[in-house]
């Protein structure tokens, strides 16, 4: 029985077959021939045709890996790219040239398959992971019997050579091509736990800048030609761009892996857990095991992070990254509960009436060299924690502590988006809480904003201890607004009990408003329309009528 009449079975043996040949996508692993799988060797040995991609110089890394298993009677199909990174005069440009090449290569392989020959397309790494084989698979797998043989990826090889785990527990591993725009790389590196950036070479300068801008450069490792001749591993920060080949990757390894088991199991500081209001004694707070010892001579940092109105879907990549990188999280218990538990982090939770104490705790921790995230709901600069932290940070002994404020989606914008675009023109944001300012000031600001015909976003409209402010605000607004002015009651936006209702100003019922509700009051121009599908949308035109 000839090789062309054989078909490998699931147990590695061969059986006779008639009709078209069988297509194999064969992963060869990261470069070391000894890392080829037994199945890959079996398939190569039983194939009639061995196909491999190469650049125009004709040298194929895939062929060199599999060379010891090629027979003199193998039919070899070298699929030579017409272009790699250079320009082309093809009428379809670079992509057009490659598409034409893939169609031609697939036709060459189809001719062998139609003749009953078994075709093995060999590729470095894994065939379906950034592999050249996938272009043949898309064009041929639906037409011929096909099997894909997985291979060890360069990512696994790089981690093995570094001796560093890629991800542990609930960490998220993100795999990025270095060819992404620099801003996209920066955002994704900032938001993930661990990462691998592939396809370096000429992309390296942008990748390095993205690592630096996202704050991941100190963690980043560099691996070149893993398991191949000329292998090199170093800190990414020490690499010169002109020395970086295409077959190199950058690895941001697991943050958890180096922590001892005691740290992995610890999420809350003993002091914070014991204190009635969560106010730990920063001066006595022990170090997290596995973290570098804090030093008063090397101040840490406080980052005030806005989590948006609800859960992770509202987090910006920058905020997500800051929360992951922090050693200590400080915040109101409800907001801390939105942040996933991370091994090695300490949480210092308190109620919502000790903002100055929380700010002081965070800054005390930072003075001792710790990276601290103060967790705030919505946007930290809108009736939230940024003001409290900056106020304390402006005093001795905290003036030297670095403080950053990261924006978040504020409740007004989230509520407006759910309703349509009621804040599409000029608007004012006012808190109805008289806990920190007298009602007389609030009333005067309501009158001023209403007389200026501004749409209004009203924060903190009511609570169990504040039940009359909404009614008073309605009376003041009706002095300047028509009774049928649209008012949006947005409750628990982004949460499990989300509701959005629109009523007329005259019909606003204070008993329907609680501390989880935000009110948006339209201007004289705001429109509320019920659409054909039964939904109601509210918007304020960007044009304003001339007098």
pLDDT at position 96: 85
Q: Which CATH architecture has domain 412-539?
A: 2-Layer Sandwich (3.30)
d(CA 177, CA 185): 9
pLDDT tens column, 357-388: 999 999 999 999 999 999 999 999 999 999 99
The fraction of the chain above a pLDDT of 90, given in percent, is 72
pLDDT at position 272: 42
Q: Mapping DSSP to helix (H, G, I), strand (E, B) and coil, where does residue 58 land?
A: coil
Asked if pLDDT for residue 13 goes beyond 90, the answer is no
- Neighbouring residues of 297: CB distance < 8 A, sequence distance ≥ 6: none
- Average pLDDT estimate for 299-320: 89
pLDDT at position 343: 83
pLDDT at position 262: 57
- Average pLDDT estimate for 307-315: 85
Sheet containing 455-459: give its strands across.
427-431, 455-459, 517-521, 486-491, 499-504
pLDDT at position 279: 41
d(CA 41, CA 435): 75
346-350 and 23-27 beta bridge pairing:
unpaired
pLDDT at position 93: 83
486-491 and 517-521 beta bridge pairing:
antiparallel
The answer to which of 117-126, 267-276, 345-354, 470-479 has the lowest mean pLDDT is: 267-276
Residue 9: pLDDT band with limits 50, 70, 90:
very low
Asked if pLDDT for residue 281 goes beyond 80, the answer is no
pLDDT at position 509: 93
pLDDT at position 246: 87
Asked if pLDDT for residue 268 goes beyond 70, the answer is no
- Average pLDDT estimate for 26-37: 97
pLDDT at position 21: 96
Q: What is the 3-state secondary structure (H, E, C) of 233-289?
A: EEEHHHCCHHHCCCCEEEEECCCCCCCCHHHHCCCECHHHHHCCCCCCCCCCCCCCC
Q: Mapping DSSP to helix (H, G, I), strand (E, B) and coil, where does residue 501 land?
A: strand
Gyration radius of the chain over CA positions:
31
Sheet containing 371-376: give its strands across.
346-350, 328-332, 371-376, 301-306, 403-406
Structure-block tokens of residue 382: 């809108």
Residue 263: pLDDT band with limits 50, 70, 90:
low
The fraction of the chain above a pLDDT of 70, given in percent, is 88
Selected residue with higher pLDDT from 85 and 382: 382
The residues with which 16 forms a beta bridge, in sequence order, are 6
pLDDT at position 342: 84
d(CA 523, CA 539): 10
- The residue with tokens 């200590």 is 328
Q: How buried is 272 (Cβ within 10 angstroms: 0-12 exposed, 13-18 middle, 19+ buried)?
A: buried
Asked if pLDDT for residue 449 goes beyond 90, the answer is yes
d(CA 532, CA 131): 48
pLDDT tens column, 174-196: 999 999 999 999 999 998 999 99
Q: Within 10 A of 232 (CB to CB), how many other CB atoms are there?
A: 15
d(CA 153, CA 173): 14
Q: Mapping DSSP to helix (H, G, I), strand (E, B) and coil, where does residue 380 land?
A: coil
Asked if pLDDT for residue 450 goes beyond 60, the answer is yes
d(CA 413, CA 409): 7
pLDDT at position 260: 64
pLDDT at position 1: 33
155-252 topology per CATH:
3.30.950
371-376 and 301-306 beta bridge pairing:
parallel
What's the CA dihedral at 346, 355, 515, 510 to 10 degrees?
A: 180
CATH label, 263-409, candidates 3.40.1010.10, 3.50.50.60, 3.20.20.60, 2.160.10.10 = 3.40.1010.10
Asked if pLDDT for residue 278 goes beyond 90, the answer is no
Does a cis peptide bond (omega within 30 degrees of 0) precede residue 397?
A: yes
DSSP of 157-185, one letter per residue?
Answer: HHHHHHT--S--TT--EEEEETTS-HHHH
Q: What's the gap between Cα 530 and its chain centre?
A: 36
Domain ranges of the chain: 3-152, 155-252, 263-409, 412-539
- Average pLDDT estimate for 46-66: 92
pLDDT at position 346: 94
d(CA 412, CA 256): 37
Q: Mapping DSSP to helix (H, G, I), strand (E, B) and coil, where does residue 63 land?
A: helix
pLDDT at position 406: 95
Please report, in angstroms and rounded to a whole number, the separation of the first and last CA atoms in the chain: 94
d(CA 260, CA 367): 25
d(CA 58, CA 123): 15
Nearest one of 407, 413, 384 to 488, comparing CA atoms: 413
Average pLDDT of the chain is: 88
The residues with which 519 forms a beta bridge, in sequence order, are 458, 489
* Fold matches, 155-252 and 412-539: yes
Residue 115: pLDDT band with limits 50, 70, 90:
very high
pLDDT at position 86: 63
Structure-block tokens of residue 135: 């272009």
- Average pLDDT estimate for 5-20: 51
pLDDT tens column, 501-533: 999 999 999 999 998 899 999 999 999 999 999
Asked if pLDDT for residue 127 goes beyond 70, the answer is yes
DSSP 535: -
pLDDT at position 294: 43
- CATH homologous superfamily of 3-152 equals Tetrapyrrole methylase, N-terminal domain (3.40.1010.10)
d(CA 384, CA 375): 10
Contact 510, 459 (CB under 8 A): no
């Amino acid at each position: 029985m000839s090789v062309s009449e054989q078909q490998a079975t699931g147990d590695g043996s061969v059986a006779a077959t008639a009709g078209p040949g069988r297509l194999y996508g064969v992963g060869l692993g990261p470069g070391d021939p000894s890392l080829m799988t037994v199945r890959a060797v079996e398939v190569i040995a039983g194939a009639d045709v061995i196909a491999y991609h190469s650049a125009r110089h004709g040298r194929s890394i895939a062929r060199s890996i599999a060379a010891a298993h090629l027979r003199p009677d193998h039919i070899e199909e070298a699929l030579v790219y017409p272009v790699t990174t250079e320009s082309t005069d093809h009428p379809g440009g670079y992509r057009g040239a490659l598409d034409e090449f893939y169609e031609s290569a697939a036709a060459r392989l189809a001719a062998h398959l139609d003749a009953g020959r078994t075709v093995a397309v060999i590729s470095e790494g894994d065939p379906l992971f950034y592999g050249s084989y996938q272009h043949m698979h898309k064009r041929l797998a639906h037409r011929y019997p096909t099997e894909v043989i997985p291979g060890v990826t360069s990512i696994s090889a790089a981690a093995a050579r570094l001796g560093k785990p890629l991800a542990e527990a609930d960490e998220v591993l993100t795999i990025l091509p270095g060819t992404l725009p620099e801003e996209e790389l920066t955002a994704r590196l900032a938001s993930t736990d661990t990462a691998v950036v592939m396809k370096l070479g000429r992309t390296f300068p942008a990748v390095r800048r993205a690592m630096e801008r996202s704050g991941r450069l100190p963690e980043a490792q560099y691996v070149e030609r893993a398991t191949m001749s000329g292998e090199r591993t170093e800190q990414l920060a020490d690499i010169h761009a002109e020395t970086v080949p295409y077959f190199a990757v950058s690895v941001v390894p697991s943050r958890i892996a180096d922590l001892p088991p005691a740290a992995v199991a610890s999420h809350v500081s003993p002091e914070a857990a014991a204190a009635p209001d969560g106010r730990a004694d920063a001066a006595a707070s022990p170090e997290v095991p596995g973290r570098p010892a804090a030093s008063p001579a090397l101040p840490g940092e406080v980052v005030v992070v806005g989590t948006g109105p609800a859960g992770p879907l509202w987090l910006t990549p920058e905020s997500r990254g800051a929360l992951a990188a922090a050693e200590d999280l400080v915040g109101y218990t409800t907001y801390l509960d939105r942040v996933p538990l991370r091994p090695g982090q300490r949480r210092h939770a308190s109620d919502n009436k000790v903002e100055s104490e929380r700010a002081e705790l965070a800054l005390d921790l930072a003075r001792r060299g710790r990276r601290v995230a103060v967790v705030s709901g919505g946007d930290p600069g809108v009736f939230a924690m940024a003001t409290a932290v900056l106020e304390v940070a402006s005093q001795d002994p905290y003036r030297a502590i670095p403080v950053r404020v990261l924006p978040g989606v504020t409740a007004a914008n989230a509520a407006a988006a759910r309703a349509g675009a009621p804040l599409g023109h000029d608007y004012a944001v006012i808190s109805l809480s008289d806990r920190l300012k007298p009602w007389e000031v609030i009333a005067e600001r309501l009158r001023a904003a209403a007389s200026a015909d501004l749409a209004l976003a009203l924060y903190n409209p009511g609570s169990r201890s504040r039940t009359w402010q909404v009614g008073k605000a309605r009376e003041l607004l009706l002095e300047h607004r028509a009774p049928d002015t649209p008012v949006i009651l947005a409750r628990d936006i982004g949460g499990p009990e989300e509701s959005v209702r629109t009523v007329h100003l005259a019909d606003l019922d204070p008993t329907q408003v609680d501390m989880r509700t935000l009110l948006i009051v339209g201007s004289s121009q705001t429109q509320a329309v019920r659409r054909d599908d039964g939904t109601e949308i509210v918007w304020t035109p960007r044009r304003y009528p001339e007098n």
